[in-house]
Amino acid sequence: MVGDHGLKKFLVISAFLLPNLLGFLFFIGIPIVASLGISFTQWDLLSPPKWIGIENYKTTLTNKEFWAALGHTFYFIAGYLPLVMVGALAIALILNQKLKGITFFRAAYFVPVVTSWVAVSLIWKWLFNPEYGLVNYFLSQFGINGPAWLQDPNWAMPAIILTSVWKDLGFVMVIYLAGLQGISPSYYEAAEMDGASAWQKFWHITLPLLNPTTFFVTVISLINSFQVFDQVMIMTEGGPADSTSVIVERIYNHAFRYFEMGNASAISWLLFFIIFFITLLQLRIQKRMVGDGN
Amino acid sequence: METKQHIQSATPVIKISELDSYKVAKKILFYLVLVLGAVIMIIPFVWMISTSLKTTGATMVLPPKLIPDELNFDNYKNVTEAFPVYRFLWNSFFVAIISTLGQILLCSMAAYAFSRLEFKGRDLIFLVYLATLMVPSQVTMTPQFILMKYLGWLDTYQGLILPGMFNAFGTFLLRQFFLGIPKELEEAAFMDGASHFRVFAQIIVPLAKPALATLAVFSFMQSWNNYLWPLIVVSNPKMMTLPLGLSLLQGRWETNWNLMMAGVVISVIPVLAVYLFAQRYFIQGITLSGMKE
């Protein structure tokens, strides 16, 4: 009887869990372990893989192109992150003022978020066209002779940053809006009784209480920015003169253009470690800030 | 912000009527910023549609015209004749819908096991699921490609769909939601002799509808907009999804922006239409997508 009961239980659990678990092991678990193994080999998919120890990591860490790509990724983050966060917070603060038509504006700001990166990149590539693009035409109205943007090594990355800010602004804004709506009005009422100015209220109530939201936005935006790829691939393919080559673009090229599976896997694990440590660091900082607040 | 400060710090000394006019001025300023922002968000789409209706010559005219002199619908015909755009569209739909249905089913079943069934090692398995969320998809991408190659799944639907169907995120999301559903309802059902399958299908799933809808939108968008994975596993144009197909247009028509924009319009319209219908779920779903990475 007991055995029969156990068998039935086992079958029920299997039915619910196994379809997911088996697929998960096969498509996620095995590839993660395999990726680590492959990163210690030399493998072009034509001949069998050759174990070469930490050679791939050595080559990558002494490779100028890798460091350049890492630098460009940081450049992207340094431009993108402050712009998207400050811009999104500003719009969220205004939308939180209980004005009429919020639903319309929120919807408008959100349209680029639901559009695919490929479509967005193509649209902006055309907008940034040096001769006939809308951006340079707009600048010319103010007597500014716009740069060649994506064809200019100095301006290609700023163009990619602007495009990315445009696409993600609505996403970050919605998260900030949710955070703002979670702040109890009683805080503001108390501050108003004490005669606090709008600026004081923002600085001493809104911003500190938004801390968890800001932390969340920073963590996910940073993780996403380290994986910047689609827009780069469509708009510049890493050019001109490698000025926009980024980490994931390196991984893609090593794996699927040069067929160096080992090298590509090694870079992807370096990317994992970078993201892992930066997230850990942020958690530390967040903890310390919360501690200070108390 | 500065204006706001200025206004507020001045309030104690001014009369009510002035206070009102300041409030109005503040409102006007806010609306100006919002409208300006909204214009910046919308203009690129207007420009996309406008360009898609121009002749090649008209795209190279200064000053650029937002409304073309004559509407030229040939671009749409030419794009669909030169590329199997409708096939791209169908592939995108098929892949996105199957991935979404698959994820919903697989994730909700596993989430039921993780939240309602008790067995040895349950929490350990769940912890392993969670740990994989930390690993960026670029790490698994290369071995997944090799796997597809050895299975002969390059240029197939299963190659496009299956690897993306198993991610820990959906399971995690639904498990959290299921844990919040009170157990009293099920207990009554079990007393009446209901099986786990019945409780799952008739109690848990109906109660979890909002979470399921949100996950559905999230998975659909993820799949619909995915570029990198199709780029890796597909080389036959017949199997391409829209984003990948669009990137092909680029190689063919380096300077014919009117044709390219026609292709972009075809790819953007379906998602925009769905978005307008299900805005709420979209916003929730996309907000979740951030948490996944």
Nearest CA in chain B to A12: B196
Q: What is the pLDDT of residue B291?
A: 52
- My answer on whether B124 and B73 are in the same domain is no
Q: What is the pLDDT of residue A117?
A: 94
Amino acid at A108: A
Cβ of B139 within 8 Å of Cβ of A233? The answer is no
Question: Which of B42, B101, B138 is the best mutation test for A, with the most CBs of A within 10 A?
Answer: B138
Question: HSE on the CB side for B12, CA within 13 Å?
Answer: 9
Q: What is residue B95's three-state secondary structure?
A: helix
- My answer on whether B108 and B66 are in the same domain is no
Question: Which of A1-5, A18-22, B102-106, B212-216 comes out lowest in average pLDDT?
Answer: A1-5
Cβ of B139 within 8 Å of Cβ of A94? The answer is no
On whether any CB of chain A is under 8 Å from the CB of B170, the answer is: no
Contact criterion met (CB below 8 Å) for B100 and B224: no
Nearest CA in chain A to B290: A220
Cβ of B225 within 8 Å of Cβ of A116? The answer is yes
Cβ of B41 within 8 Å of Cβ of A109? The answer is yes
CA B111, B116, B120, B123 dihedral sign is: positive
| Residue where a domain stops, chosen among B61, B77, B93 | B77
Cβ of A127 within 8 Å of Cβ of B107? The answer is no
How close, in Å, is residue A169 to chain B by CA atoms?
9
| CA atoms of B243 and B71, how far apart (whole Å) | 26
Locate tokens 């026609």: which residue?
B262
Q: What are the pLDDT digits (tens) for A192-218?
A: 888 888 888 899 889 999 988 898 889
Contact criterion met (CB below 8 Å) for A124 and B44: yes
Say if residue B92's pLDDT is above 80.
yes
On whether any CB of chain B is under 8 Å from the CB of A75, the answer is: no
Q: What are the pLDDT digits (tens) for A214-264?
A: 988 898 899 899 999 999 999 999 989 999 999 999 999 999 999 999 999
Q: What are the pLDDT digits (tens) for B12-29?
A: 555 566 677 888 888 898
For residue B286, list chain A residues with Cβ-Cβ distance below 8 A: 110, 113-114, 171, 174
Nearest CA in chain B to A254: B142
Contact criterion met (CB below 8 Å) for B289 and B79: no
| CA atoms of B270 and B240, how far apart (whole Å) | 17
Cβ of B293 within 8 Å of Cβ of A166? The answer is no
- My answer on whether B260 and B192 are in the same domain is yes
- My answer on whether B90 and B10 are in the same domain is no
Q: What is the pLDDT of residue B58?
A: 85
How close, in Å, is residue A20 to chain B by CA atoms?
5
Nearest Cβ partner for A12 among B117, B224, B287 = B117
Domains of chain A: 2-38 (no CATH), 55-293 (1.10.3720.10)
For residue A45, list chain B residues with Cβ-Cβ distance below 8 A: 146, 149
CA B209, B212, B216, B222 dihedral sign is: positive
Cβ of B162 within 8 Å of Cβ of A27? The answer is yes
How close, in Å, is residue A114 to chain B by CA atoms?
7
Cβ of A268 within 8 Å of Cβ of B139? The answer is yes
Q: What is the pLDDT of residue B285?
A: 67
Nearest Cβ partner for B142 among A15, A220, A255 = A255
Say if residue A179's pLDDT is above 60.
yes
Which secondary structure element, helix H or strand E, spans residue A50, and what is its range?
Answer: strand A50-51
- My answer on whether B40 and B98 are in the same domain is no
Say if residue A158's pLDDT is above 50.
yes
Read off the pLDDT band of A286 (50, 70, 90): confident
Q: What is the pLDDT of residue B20?
A: 78
Contact criterion met (CB below 8 Å) for B248 and B83: yes
Arithmetic mean of pLDDT, A99-120: 88
Q: What is the pLDDT of residue B98?
A: 97
pLDDT > 90: what percent of chain B? 51
Q: What are the pLDDT digits (tens) for B209-237?
A: 888 988 888 888 889 889 999 999 999 99
- My answer on whether B87 and B49 are in the same domain is no
| Residue where a domain stops, chosen among B17, B43, B77 | B77
- My answer on whether B10 and B91 are in the same domain is no
Say if residue B10's pLDDT is above 80.
no
Cβ of B271 within 8 Å of Cβ of A116? The answer is yes
How close, in Å, is residue A108 to chain B by CA atoms?
6
Nearest Cβ partner for B293 among A109, A129, A224 = A224
Partners of A28 in the β-ladder: none
For residue B64, list chain A residues with Cβ-Cβ distance below 8 A: 132, 134, 137
Q: What is the pLDDT of residue B293?
A: 39
pLDDT > 90: what percent of chain A? 68
Alpha helix (H) ranges present in chain B?
A: 2-10, 16-52, 56-59, 74-82, 85-116, 122-132, 137-151, 157-165, 168-179, 184-191, 196-199, 205-207, 209-225, 228-233, 242-252, 257-277, 279-292
B84 DSSP 8-state letter: -
Report how many domains make up chain B: 2
For residue B168, list chain A residues with Cβ-Cβ distance below 8 A: 24, 28
Read off the pLDDT band of A266 (50, 70, 90): very high
| Residue where a domain stops, chosen among B38, B56, B77 | B77
CATH number for the domain harbouring residue B259? 1.10.3720.10
For residue A32, list chain B residues with Cβ-Cβ distance below 8 A: 132, 135, 139-140, 143
Cβ-Cβ pairs closer than 8 A, A with B, add up to: 277
Read off the pLDDT band of B198 (50, 70, 90): very high
Question: Which of A103, A116, A163, A269 is the best mutation test for B, with the most CBs of B within 10 A?
Answer: A116
pTM: 0.88
- My answer on whether B17 and B145 are in the same domain is no
How close, in Å, is residue A171 to chain B by CA atoms?
7
Range of the domain at B256: 83-292
Nearest CA in chain B to A14: B113
Say if residue B280's pLDDT is above 70.
yes
pLDDT > 70: what percent of chain B? 90
Nearest Cβ partner for B140 among A17, A28, A118 = A28
Q: What are the pLDDT digits (tens) for A29-40?
A: 999 999 999 999
- My answer on whether B101 and B65 are in the same domain is no
- My answer on whether B16 and B161 are in the same domain is no
- My answer on whether B36 and B113 are in the same domain is no
Q: How far apart are the first and last CA of chain B?
A: 33
Cβ of B140 within 8 Å of Cβ of A91? The answer is no
Contact criterion met (CB below 8 Å) for A28 and B139: no
Read off the pLDDT band of A292 (50, 70, 90): very low
On whether any CB of chain A is under 8 Å from the CB of B286, the answer is: yes
B79 vs B65, more confident: B79
Q: What are the pLDDT digits (tens) for A115-132?
A: 999 999 999 999 999 989
What's the mean pLDDT when you consider all of chain B? 86
Q: What are the pLDDT digits (tens) for A47-101?
A: 999 999 999 999 999 999 999 999 999 999 999 999 999 999 999 999 988 788 8
- Exposed, middle or buried by CB within 10 Å (0-12, 13-18, 19+), for A132? middle
Nearest Cβ partner for B136 among A12, A134, A227 = A227
Read off the pLDDT band of B57 (50, 70, 90): confident
On whether any CB of chain A is under 8 Å from the CB of B41, the answer is: yes
Contact criterion met (CB below 8 Å) for A140 and A256: no
Q: What is the pLDDT of residue A15?
A: 94
| CA atoms of B178 and A126, how far apart (whole Å) | 47
A155 DSSP 8-state letter: T
- My answer on whether B175 and B267 are in the same domain is yes
